[in-house]
Amino acid sequence: MRGADLVAETLARAGTKVIFTLSGNQIMPIFDACIDQGIQLVHVRHEAAAVYMADAWAQLTGQVGVALLTAAPGFTNGLAPLYSARQSESPILLISGDSPVGQDGSGAFQELDQAAISRPLTKLARRTLRADRLGHDVAEALRVARSGRPGPVHLAIPFDVVNETVSPDAIPAADACARDLAPLDPAIAKDIAKALASAERPVVLTGPMMNATRASAMLSALADGIDAPVVPMESPRGLRDPSLGAFVEVLSKADLVLCLGKIVDFTVGFGRPPGFAADSRIIVLDPEADAIARARRLFGARLMMAARADVDLAAGALCEATGGSRARAAWRAEVAEAIAYRDLPPSGVAGISPQDICKAAQALLDQAEEPILIADGGEFGQWAQAFVTAPKRIINGMSGAIGGGLCYAIAAKLAHPKATVVALMGDGTAGFHFSEFDTAIRADAPFLAIIGNDSRWNAEHVIQMREYGEDRLIGCQLNPAARYDLAAAGFGCHGEMVEAPEGLDGALARAAASDLPACINVRMEGLPAPVFTRTGIVAASGH
């Protein structure tokens, strides 16, 4: 067998059924090997799209998403989504082709030290130099991606290595890809349970790996087990995340905050007032030593306890630990009501408002048996996250990057073929990977994209208006004549333009019935992202 066959068989034995990719010289042997393993190759129009799709696949399936890119420019095209995946705590494996080892230092075609470039963006970055090590390296990469805080890993595989003949004995054992486990010490679990029991108003914060899409049952079990609110955070807007309503106003009342895998950073105002009370006690449980060290620096004497452990195992241990009597129904209800708070003054817009679009999208999702929401973008993305919900959702994540929404939607439909996938995004966001409508047609992945079209980069428009004034606006406008619906139709998809509120429901219904990838281009009045406050005071946190 070739090194390429060893790669494909190791992936297949680990459960990989789909690889997101764009063809190129150095990875053709792996393409060929995937045929024999029955691995589906979803070939995209831009390398970044493949990595975004691997990210969404990981979030929605719990498996390691796999992207396969060719060398040098192909690899570098896929770098930005690696950062997003790292921030979203998504386990993905990026395999890139590479120039031959035998030509190192000779100026080979597309020679580049790829591992050195990807190392700051990944948990593991390696170039495999021997074919008989390929199975081991792939297995280790899969294991590292899933262990501790999940995240992306990268393997660069030289062209001569994938073509080299290897023994079938080089295939790793079945358990070589298994996740490493780091349980919480039972004695520490009991101490934390007692601290939680003694608090009057505790709150548990979790990060992206413990969001409602990935860990809904565990979140509910933990909240009931310790009788305390458990709040996942996965937005760069942090405590100003519109999907958290007015949560920041009650977080400041918490006397104990447990950061369960939630890294202390800008999204929580670095744990300082006004987000956290100045006298609140802090407990940190995290799989990474660096996160604990940062918490020690930021909290000082306020940090009661800190320990390394896998977040899901720690949650289970806390549920089992006995901490004493608890009766916090009123506190839990107060936090839940704050998160659900959505009151806003009338928008006063004459045309279609972002909230009009969200209402129509929510009605469509409510009718679906298996709804999945994709929310991407700046200001309009925040409206979508605030007013549209589904049991499974993917947002553009902690990185603050935009543009992956169409890619996420395709992967979501492939991961859950019976699902109704609705993706909401602004017109700026849509432009990054619009050509992936072609991929959706070829991969038979029908989804519905709703583009809130205000003909500008509205997040930057809002900042410039606020900071510099209307006469200093620059570089924010987009083409008001752009017809995204017609462009999608040109790829063979369903497309419609909507210019009045009364046209929304019908357009969405026709798109859903088309059984095609669909683009609904909605002429929208651009508004700043919603901010929910019951006090009139907006807390400073997030970006």
Q: Is 374 exposed, middle or buried (0-12, 13-18, 19+ CB in 10 A)?
A: buried
Q: Are residues 373 and 320 in the same domain?
A: no
Q: Which of 340, 366, 389 is the last residue of a domain?
A: 340
Q: Are residues 36 and 163 in the same domain?
A: yes
Alpha carbon distances (Å) from 14 to 11, 137, 141, 430, 446: 5, 13, 11, 34, 28
- Nearest partner of 6 among 179, 178, 155, judged by Cα: 155
Q: Which of 317, 340, 363 is the last residue of a domain?
A: 340
Q: Where are the alpha helices (DSSP H) in 431-481?
A: 436-442, 458-467
Residue that the structure tokens 């309009």 belong to: 380
DSSP state of 518: E
Q: Are residues 128 and 230 in the same domain?
A: no
Whether the Cβ atoms of residue 392 and residue 213 lie closer than 8 Å to each other: yes
With a CB cutoff of 8 Å and minimum separation 6, the contacts of 272 are: 278
Q: One digit per residue, pLDDT tens: the chain, 543 residues?
A: 999 999 999 999 999 999 999 999 999 999 999 999 999 999 999 999 999 999 999 999 999 999 999 999 999 999 999 999 999 999 999 999 999 999 999 999 999 999 999 999 999 999 999 999 999 999 999 999 999 999 999 999 999 999 999 998 899 998 899 999 999 999 999 999 999 999 999 999 999 999 999 999 999 999 999 999 999 999 999 999 999 999 999 999 999 999 999 999 999 999 999 999 999 999 999 999 999 999 999 999 999 999 999 999 999 999 998 766 678 999 999 999 999 999 998 888 889 999 999 999 999 999 999 999 999 988 999 999 999 999 999 999 999 999 999 999 999 999 999 999 999 999 999 999 999 999 999 999 999 999 999 999 999 999 999 999 999 999 999 999 999 999 999 999 999 999 999 999 999 999 999 999 999 999 999 999 999 999 876 554 445
In a domain, 39, yes or no: yes
Whether the Cβ atoms of residue 204 and residue 218 lie closer than 8 Å to each other: no
Q: Where are the alpha helices (DSSP H) in 147-269?
A: 159-163, 186-198, 212-226, 247-251
CB atoms within 10 A of CB 273: 12
In a domain, 538, yes or no: no
pTM across the whole model: 0.96
User: Rounded to an integer, what distance in angstroms lies between the CA atom of residue 400 and that of residue 179?
Assistant: 29
CATH code of the domain covering residue 319 = 3.40.50.1220
User: Rounded to an integer, what distance in angstroms lies between the CA atom of residue 341 and that of residue 66?
Assistant: 39
Q: Are residues 159 and 221 in the same domain?
A: no
Alpha carbon distances (Å) from 391 to 360, 387, 409: 17, 14, 15
- Nearest partner of 25 among 157, 114, 184, 221, judged by Cα: 157
Tell me the backbone φ, ψ of residue 130, rounded to 5 degrees: -130, 135
* The total number of structural domains that make up the chain: 3
Q: CA 383, 387, 391, 394: dihedral to nearest 10 degrees?
A: 0
Q: Are residues 305 and 421 in the same domain?
A: no
Q: Are residues 159 and 192 in the same domain?
A: no
Q: Are residues 395 and 481 in the same domain?
A: yes
CATH code of the domain covering residue 128 = 3.40.50.970
User: Rounded to an integer, what distance in angstroms lies between the CA atom of residue 210 and that of residue 313?
Assistant: 12
Q: Are residues 435 and 465 in the same domain?
A: yes
User: Rounded to an integer, what distance in angstroms lies between the CA atom of residue 198 and that of residue 166?
Assistant: 61
Alpha carbon distances (Å) from 529 to 354, 388, 402, 543: 9, 14, 15, 13
Q: Are residues 35 and 128 in the same domain?
A: yes
Q: Are residues 332 and 388 in the same domain?
A: no
Segments forming the whole domain that contains residue 223: 186-340
CB atoms within 10 A of CB 405: 30
Q: Are residues 438 and 491 in the same domain?
A: yes
User: Rounded to an integer, what distance in angstroms lies between the CA atom of residue 24 and that of residue 69?
Assistant: 7
In a domain, 348, yes or no: no
In a domain, 151, yes or no: yes
**R_g over Cα of the chain:** 24
In a domain, 75, yes or no: yes
In a domain, 286, yes or no: yes
DSSP state of 468: T
Q: Are residues 220 and 336 in the same domain?
A: yes
Q: Is 334 exposed, middle or buried (0-12, 13-18, 19+ CB in 10 A)?
A: middle
- The per-residue pLDDT for range 345-402, each reduced to its tens digit, is 888 888 999 999 999 999 999 999 999 999 998 899 999 999 999 999 999 999 999 9
In this predicted structure, what is the pLDDT of residue 131? 96
Q: Which of 276, 306, 340 is the last residue of a domain?
A: 340
In a domain, 532, yes or no: no
In a domain, 120, yes or no: yes
User: Rounded to an integer, what distance in angstroms lies between the CA atom of residue 229 and that of residue 332?
Assistant: 5
In this predicted structure, what is the pLDDT of residue 538? 57
